[in-house]
Copies of this chain bind each other. A is one copy, B any other.
Amino acid sequence: MPELRRDPVLGRWVIIAIERARRPSDFKPEPPAPPPDFCPFCEGNESKTPPETFAFREAGTAPDTPGWRVRVVPNKFPVLGIEGDLGKKGHGIYDMMNGIGAHEVVIETPEHETSFTPLPDDHVADIVRAYQARLLDLQRDRRMVYAMVFKNVGKAAGASLEHTHSQIIVTPVLPRTVMQEMSGCERFYDYRGRCLFCDIVEQELSESRVVLDRDDFVAFCPYASRFPFETWIVPKRHESHFEKITPDEVGHFAGVLKETLLRIETAIAGGPYNFIVHTSPLDKGDIEHYHWHVEIIPRLTKVAGFEWGTGFYINPVPPENAAEFLRDQELDGGVKLHGEEK
């Protein structure tokens, strides 16, 4: 069982992954991983993953056999375990609890693609529906507080398997960054009486940082972007919880997500990136001051001592330039450019 430990200074939680523990002596930097000659996520290899918790599959096909479009399985090496109780306790000035939670993998296609951007829009919509279905199911477990949906693309962004997939990690405590985002938004709400993200959408739509402005969603490079080409996708309708996305919105969101990622992948020549769904806690009802959204972080710059020490970031590309460059990408397959919509 992994252990959750809390830093007493910052209130930051750390998962000490006892079960995964490698011996410290294994930590020589960057051991070159052998090129995998076998992919457990490809169609036909379903027996090599834990049994699926969810799938979109052809009528009449059995679980854990071919015939699926999107398949969700528990992570074979989970960072948090599903069985047991929290066992919260103190140790002198420190606090800890058992590493209870969930860790699932969303295998986005049976084909060995390295991104989901080559997939048709309706397939990407199925991936989004799979996220939604898992969150609605995991929410029923009252030990689960927060579900993080995220995707690592490329080794430098932390991806260990090439076959395109995303992950869902559900934690038994509210993560620190989420708590800070929510309380920042709450302070704004208390002072101005409006949702900060609704105001951001309104202001961004009249500025030069928009990448895509479509039905229901806007993608833009944020005013205080930490990283070159950092892009956020925000729903225009106020909604605190991602999993409450409507059936119409799923299609629109999938289209904007796919095209935004395609523009980023083209701009940075397939470089590494992460995307992260920022949403409200599973165990809370509607929240007026928080607004779900997606943050996409290309990983082109190194994070060095200064950033680690201060939380200050240095971004060599102004977001206005980044947005213009993303809008100007020529995409194959006739995707409409932002400029053409006007």
Shortest CB-to-CB span from A67 to chain B, Å, is 29
| Inter-subunit contact B310/A171 (CB<8 Å) | yes
Give A23 to B148 CA distance when docked, in angstroms: 33
With a cutoff of 8 Å between Cβ atoms, the chain B residues found around residue A171 in the complex are 310, 312
Q: A148-B306, A158-B302, A203-B92 are in contact. Are A176 and B15 (CB under 8 A)?
A: no
Establish whether residues B224 and A13, one from each chain, have CB atoms under 8 Å apart when the complex forms: yes
Residues of B contacting A188 in the complex (Cβ-Cβ under 8 angstroms) = 8
B29 adjacent to A268 (CB under 8 Å): yes
Judge whether B304 and A158 touch: CB under 8 Å: yes
Residue A287 CB within 8 A of the other chain? no
Query: Which of A120-128, A136-144, A212-220, A269-277 contacts the other chain?
Result: A269-277
User: Residue A200 at the B interface, CB < 8 A?
Assistant: yes
Task: Tell me the minimal C-beta distance from A309 to chain B in angstroms.
Answer: 4
Cα distance A86–B13 when bound, in Å? 36
In the assembled complex, the CB of A249 is this many whole angstroms from the nearest CB of chain B, namely 21
Instruction: Please state if A309 and B148 are interface contacts (CB–CB under 8 Å).
Output: yes
The verdict on A150 contacting B224 (CB below 8 Å), with A312-B14, A312-B175 known, is no
Please pick, from B24, B91, B276, B304, the residue contacting A152 in the complex, using a CB distance under 8 A: B304
Kindly state the separation between the CA atoms of A88 and B133 in the bound complex, as whole angstroms.
Answer: 46
* A16-B318, A303-B158, A305-B151 given; A176·B310 CB < 8 A: yes
| B306 and A150 contacting across the interface, CB-CB below 8 Å | yes
> Which residues of B are found within 8 Å of A303, using beta-carbon distances?
158, 303
**A164 at the binding interface (Cβ < 8 Å):** no
Chain B residues within an 8 Å CB radius of A229: 24, 27
A246 within 8 A of B: no
Query: Distance in Å from the Cβ of A146 to the closest Cβ of chain B?
Result: 8
Shortest beta-carbon distance from A5 to chain B in Å: 4
- Judge whether A181 is part of the interface by a CB distance below 8 angstroms: yes
Q: Mark A257-284, 1 if CB is under 8 A from B, else 0.
A: 0000000000111111011111000000
Copies of this chain assembled into the complex: 2
Q: With a CB–CB cut-off of 8 A, which chain B residues contact A304?
A: 150, 152, 157-159, 274
Q: How far is the CA of A174 from the CA of B155 in the complex (A)?
A: 34
The answer for the CA separation of A150 and B303 in the assembled complex, in Å, is 13
A129 interfacial contact with B, CB 8 Å:
no
B12 and A309 within 8 A (CB):
no
A167 at the interface (CB under 8 A from B): yes
Q: Does A184 contact B (CB under 8 A)?
A: yes
CA distance A310 to B175 in the complex (A): 5
In the complex, the answer to whether A224 meets B27 with C-beta atoms within 8 Å is: no
Would you give the shortest CB distance from A70 to chain B, in whole angstroms?
19
Contact A308 B20 (CB under 8 A): no
Closest to A3 in B: B318
Partner of A321, one of B21, B155, B199, B316: B21
Quick check: B306 and A297 within 8 Å, CB to CB? no
Other A-B pairs beyond A3-B318, A12-B312, A27-B267, 4, CB < 8 Å: A16-B319, A152-B304, A175-B311, A295-B308
A-B pairs with lowest CB-CB distance, top 10: A158-B304, A175-B310, A150-B305, A29-B271, A177-B311, A274-B305, A276-B309, A24-B325, A7-B224, A176-B311
